[in-house]
Structure 1
Amino acid sequence: MARWSASTAAVLGAGLLLCVMALAASAQPLQPGNMQVITMEGKRNSKFTCADARKNSNRPGCTATCPNRCPKKCLVLCPTCKTFCLCDFYPGVSCGDPRFTGADGNNFYFHGKKDRDFCILSDAGLHINAHFIGKRNPTMSRDFTWIQALGVRFAHHHLYIGAARTARWDAAADHLALAFDDEDVALPAAAGTRWSPPTAPALSVTRTAHANTVVVELRGVFRIMANVVPITAEDSRVHGYGVTDDDSLAHLDLGFKFYDLTDDVHGVLGQTYRTDYVNRLNVTAKMPVMGGADTFLSSGLFETDCAVARFGRAGATASAAAGAGTTGIAMVTDSKYL
């Protein structure tokens, strides 16, 4: 598994990632920086040529191969032909059978359990749960799992980001479901469409493709990149998922960027942002697995009752406010305070 250092992640930058996510959804080449997003179309170890398109460059092109571990797409830097998996792009990413990249740059799996909700991050003013769907493999002691939805709580608000169930996957159709404070959010099917609620003007949802891909941002608090993807017949064949014709197991590939977290933050991913976090996983293993599912189990998608919940802690809220130069997340979300 690839591991990214914090310095590498910082160099790549969140702005570039937004561009990559948008173009990955449309499978078009990146224009700035002479990079490309390669869609492998189900073929592992896909080879391609890469030329230096910069003006007056005499550097020759090269032939490269997308890493075998990349499930569907890879990012290529031309003309050096350095390749990266989009799912490993920077700390906070979750892809496929939930594989996270912690703030320490190390990848790990968290399998959880199907049809259950788990605390991904919990801090004084922010709490994120994930709902897992899955398939039982009779030859294994666990479920195959994927993240179907996120339940985000901040201030007194509730945000739902989910992949709608669909029997047969149609890439041209939108399978993304959004709701804010129990009201459905309808986004026109066009890249660049943006929605922001009057009760929380610092929150925005922006499409980066005509369907299935959005960036959700709460100014100064978080940025979440969400892409709805299916389990394909090829995925099922290769990995033995046992997908049937009545459910494509649409789920979310996710990228997280957080700002001004307190040092009391916890959760499956959140704990890796603590200054006292010690990675005890075997990072040299092919599949480092974080256990302790019961520690992160929540009773519902918007519940804050996992064993490591921090949401609403007054002391931590004050600490976060001091560090951010505000009086808490509510001050940057509610219009009456702006």
Structure 2
Amino acid sequence: MASRAFVLVLAALLALCAAAVSVAAQQRPLPPKYRIINPGKYKRDQQMTCDDPNDNKAKCLAKCEKRCPNQCVVLCPGCKTFCMCDFYPGVSCGDPRFTGADGNNFYFHGKKDKDFCIVSDAGLHINAHFIGKRNPAMSRDFTWIQALGIRFAHHHFYVGAAKTPKWDAAADHLALGFDDEDLDVASQLPRFVGARWSPPTAPALSVTRTARVNTVVVELRGVFRIVANVVPITAEDSRIHNYGVTDDDSLAHLDLGFKFYDLTDDVHGVLGQTYRPDYVNRLNVTSKMPVMGGAPDYLSSDLFSTDCAVARFGGGRHQAGTTTAVNIAMVTDDME
């Protein structure tokens, strides 16, 4: 009987402890959550609501600002909005505007239908394929990044925007490939937030949806995290900037956010060089459009080639004591 009484008392104490833990958990403020708005074609698609379960205030309404019409990030609770392409190191958007590791924005126009090395390190190489339109009044192409070709170890990974004549915000325009095989995105990455795919031969690599369509996080554990979002050139963008978009091509391309965890001091490439400890920014940062030149140094023969002039991949340069741990604070870190 004494033993049974002891068990009953112990069970009661455990129940009280569990209740106390539950109450404490309810009293703690929940961690902030980031959500993505992909505005779409209509005004009603630009809004979302979020609330704070810790107060009795009405839900707030968030809406993308005009300066980031294609996508914005909402912090819940509070409904504070951010443009993906503002202020965050490792971001590339539009006519490619990069934000270097030093926090400065610069443009790299490249050339349409060509491939350029964006990051090249001993164990990682990332090329970007550029698409574009030529404005007869200008001496250069309007360009956008259509796809990335990523090499690590003996693997190849492709993430890109599928060519689409007419943009449909409800459709998925994402294209993926691994080791020279195209992924059946519809079946291998179902359309719900949190859907995840990882190859059996490279389990450290994963692709996770952060929106039902067109937005994913590509992660190689301990090496990089890339947020890729497929966006079009809208008729309004084309009208304002004279891009010359036609009905047969919406110029779907990628807006990108990069985070790197283990780059060496010898890293190079259009974006990669800005992570070098000896990098000196010689661009005119006060200019409305500081442009990084030297395109021939970054030109690759194809999307997965490592033959650009500044290539570092597989060069055995990753020596002890040369690794630079890079920890970039980006709003994409906690996105779901």
Aligned to 1:124: 122
**Partner residue in 2 for 1:173:** 171
> Structure 1 residues 77 and 310 mapped into 2: Cα distance closer, same or farther (>3 Å)?
same
Paired residue for 1:190?
A: 191
| Cα distance change on mapping 1:287 and 1:42 into 2, 3 Å | farther
Larger radius of gyration: 2
- Give the conservation status (yes or no) of the 8 Å contact 1:42–1:234: no
Question: Which residue pairs with 2:319 in the alignment?
Answer: 318
Give distance in 2, aligned partners of 1:82 and 1:240.
Answer: 32
Give per-residue Cα distances to partners, 1:200-223, cap 9 Å, x unaligned.
110111111221111110000001
Instruction: Kindly provide the CA deviation profile for residues 292-338 of structure 1, in whole angstroms up to 9, marking residues without a partner as x.
Output: 11111111100001110000111x133379778xxxxxxxxxxxxxx
Residue deviations 1:207-266 (CA, integer Å, cap 9, x gap): 112211111100000011111111111111111000000011111111111011000000
Counterpart amino acid of 1:190? R
Query: 2:174 matched to 1:140?
Result: no
After superposition, residues 159-308 of structure 1 pair within 5 angstroms as 159-186=157-184, 187-191=188-192, 192-308=194-310
1:318 is matched by which residue type in structure 2?
A: Q
Instruction: Tell me how far apart the structure 2 counterparts of residues 164 and 40 of structure 1 sit (CA, whole Å).
Output: 17
SS at match of 2:318: helix
With 261-270 and 210-219 compared, the bigger mean Cα shift is at 210-219
Residue 166 of structure 2 aligns to which amino acid in structure 1?
R
**Comparing 178-187 and 267-276, the one that deviates more:** 178-187
Change (3 A) 1:57 1:95: same
Give the number of aligned pairs. 289
1:42/1:235 Cα in 2 relative to 1: closer, same or farther (>3 Å)?
A: farther
Deviating more after overlay: 90-99 vs 124-133? 90-99
Residues 206 and 67 from structure 1, CA distance in 2 versus in 1: closer, same or farther, beyond 3 angstroms? closer
Describe the SS at the equivalent of 1:87: coil
Change (3 A) 1:103 1:81: same
After superposition, the Cα gap between the structure-2 partners of 1:305 and 1:63, relative to the gap in structure 1 and judged at 3 Å, is same
Distance (Å, rounded) in 1 between the aligned partners of 2:127 and 2:138 = 26
- Residues 97-123 of structure 1: per-residue CA shift (max 9 Å, x gap): 111111111111111000000000000
Q: Which residue of structure 2 lines up, in the alignment, with residue 333 of structure 1?
A: none
Structure 2 distance, partners of 1:171, 1:74, is 15
Sort the Cα spacing of 1:119 and 1:238 in 2 relative to 1 into closer, same or farther, 3 A. same
Q: Deviations over 1:20-40 (max 9, x none)?
A: 4xx324x5xxxxxxxxxxx49
| Residue correspondence of structure 1 range 56-135 to structure 2 within 5 A | 69-75=67-73, 84-88=82-86, 90-135=88-133
Question: TM-score w.r.t. structure 1 length?
Answer: 0.76
Contact 2:68/2:83 (CA < 8 Å) preserved in 1? yes
The Cα of 1:53 is off from its aligned counterpart by 5.3
The 1-side partners of 2:54 and 2:206 are apart by 37
**Unaligned regions of 5+ residues in structure 1, if any?**
1-14, 28-38, 325-338
CA RMSD of aligned residues (A): 3.2
Asked if 1 retains the 8 angstrom alpha-carbon contact of 2:70 and 2:231, the reply is no
Mark the CA change 1:229 to 1:72 in structure 2 (over 3 Å): closer, same or farther. Answer: closer
In structure 1, distance between residues paired with 2:173 and 2:40: 22
Distance change (3 Å), C-alpha of 1:251 and 1:63: closer
